[in-house]
Amino acid sequence: MPPEPAALTLPLDGKAQAIPGPWRTALGLLGLASAALILLAAREWAEMLHQWWNIDTYNHLLLMPPILAWLVLLKADELAQVTPRSFAPGLVLVLAALGLWSMGRALGINLVAQAGAVGMVQGAVVTVLGLRASVLLALPLAMAAFLVPFGDEIIPPLQAITAEIAVTLTHLSGVPARVEGLHIDTPAGLFIVAEACSGVKFLIAMVTLGVLVCFTRFASWRRRAVFLALCVIVPILANGVRAWATIYAAQFIGATRATSFDHIIYGWVFFALITAGLLGAAWRFFEREPETYGWRAADLTSNLALARAETGALGPLGAAFAIIALAVIAALAGLL
């Protein structure tokens, strides 16, 4: 007979109950392994925290840790039906992420090094908790990738698209304009589609929100694809309209006042209105409640392939020890 599943009770109603031994042990070991990996990549984690806090393009990432915690808590009842088991092949994921982190450092590419730093922790979760627990936590594990600040690479094309939309609408609205690249010369003054006007902050935040909504509120892949596409297209078009509106308003109130007004409205009102409008339009098409997202433990328990994959003798203790050993070896190799 299979062992009785360990009960993991993390209720959302606030009634704290003790986490039984198998889960306490596994989570404690995962914490130790993750701490070793985070300490190894401390520079990358510090850089990411700096970007989240100090660069407004990435301020929304400050919400990611509580969102990930919320997604995990939503699966508490399902996790209660499985026993955490180690998955030795998960060490390959940790090694691959270690290699990515090392390559990023060697080449001086922060994005690659930071992706490796996050990937090491993701791999540790799979290795220590096992396949079934990781499948149940697939969404928060995948969304942890959004902890890595990215988007600078797409700023130039976004600037070009924004300029093209703004110029087209400016001509259609009857305002004469002469265009040279990202410079738009109008009777009210010269406007430049700078990096801050590219809309990258809006786009990245919307894509992050879109992925969260897609997998917690939709069951149909077609609806997910449509909604995620809208989360890409709508911010880009809206940013072009915003740039045009600034140019058009400047013809009447002056460039300085129009630009100042634009920063206030775009920063505090425009993004909220577009987001609310998109979510409101999608609301009637939602197919499920957030707590029902992902796979069910009952389906995974009867999956023979998963059961066979978790028959290794490494154990959570051995898995955590192996990860810590890899972190120590990598640290010593960096000192040599």
Tell me, letter by letter, the H, E, C secondary structure of the chain.
CCCCCCCCCCCCCCCCCCCCHHHHHHHHHHHHHHHHHHHHCHHHHHHHHHHHHHCHHHHHHHHHHHHHHHHHHHCHHHHCCCCCCCCCCHHHHHHHHHHHHHHHHHHCCHHHHHHHHHHHHHHHHHHHHCHHHHHHCHHHHHHHHHHCCCCHHHHHHHHHHHHHHHHHHHHHCCCCCEEECCEEEECCEEEECCHHHCCHHHHHHHHHHHHHHHHHHCCCHHHHHHHHHHHHHHHHHHHHHHHHHHHHHHHHHCHHHHHHHHHHHHHHHHHHHHHHHHHHHHHCCCCCCHHHCCCCHHHHHCCHHHHHHCCCCCHHHHHHHHHHHHHHHHHHHHHC
Q: Tell me, what's the pLDDT at 198?
A: 84
Sequence ranges of the domains in the chain: 21-150+291-335, 153-289
Q: Tell me, what's the pLDDT at 312?
A: 59
Task: Give the whole-number percent of the chain exceeding pLDDT 70.
Answer: 88
pLDDT mean over 26-54: 96
CA distances from 119 to 36, 38, 103, 209 (A): 14, 11, 13, 21
pLDDT mean over 230-244: 93
pLDDT at 11 exceeding the cut of 80: no
Q: What is the pLDDT of residues 91-107, one digit of tens each?
A: 999 999 999 999 999 99
Q: CA-to-CA distance for 179 and 224, rounded, in angstroms?
A: 38
pLDDT at 281 exceeding the cut of 80: yes
Which residues are bridge partners to 184 per DSSP?
A: 179, 191
Q: Tell me, what's the pLDDT at 300?
A: 80
pLDDT at 176 exceeding the cut of 60: yes
Q: Whole-prediction pTM value? A: 0.87
Q: CA-to-CA distance for 241 and 135, rounded, in angstroms?
A: 42
User: What average pLDDT does the chain have?
Assistant: 87
pLDDT mean over 162-190: 88
pLDDT mean over 311-317: 72
The single-letter code of the amino acid at 72 is: V
